[in-house]
Copies of this chain bind each other. A is one copy, B any other.
Amino acid sequence: MSVANAIVRAGKKEDLPAVLELIRELAKYEKMSEQVWNTVEAMEKDGFGSNPIYGLLVAEKESIIVGYSIYYYRYSTWKGKRLFLEDILVTEKERGTGSGKQLFDKTIEIAKQESCTGMMWMVLNWNEPAINFYKKYDARFDEEWVNCHIDF
């Protein structure tokens, strides 16, 4: 475990291959590897075109991407504009170094700058380290709502 602090900064196109590797690492941890269909090309188009549909932060240490967060905005008909944190990950050997907290805090800062009324995200009900981390932020956990999907 490295003790130096990571630098948290806006992600660049050039970071995408490393970020997609971490996306795959997260999906593996979540036991859903087979669901990752995304590619570097698609992520470049979706996030770095004239109308980006997501924002990217990376945590970098000694020129290596050790974590990322991906977010975009949602619209609550009750509460207006909300930041939705789609993914946050710090690579396994960097856990416990505070990089996750740096990424999470920076994402909250962006939400506030963008006049969001709050921030939303999801957690797997068995992911205790993550749940305990979010409890420190007084997060509300909403078990009554079930997520539904159809794929085309």
Contact = CB atoms under 8 A, between A and B. Distances in A.
Contacts of A35: 78-79
B80 A75 contact: no
Contact of A36 (B78, B81, B145, B147): B78
Interface residues of A, number: 58
Copies in the complex: 2
Contacts of A138: 150
Nearest to A54: B75
Nearest to A108: B150
Interface string A59-84: 00000000000101111111111001
Given A117-B151, A120-B149, 13 more contacts: A38-B77, A42-B80, A54-B75, A74-B74, A74-B86, A75-B86, A111-B152, A116-B152, A117-B152, A118-B152, A119-B150, A124-B144, A137-B150
Interface in A97-116: 108, 111-112, 116
Contacts of A124: 144-146
A81 B49 CA distance: 14
Interface of A: 23, 26-27, 32, 35-38, 42, 46-47, 53-54, 70, 72-81, 84, 86-87, 108, 111-112, 116-126, 134, 137-152
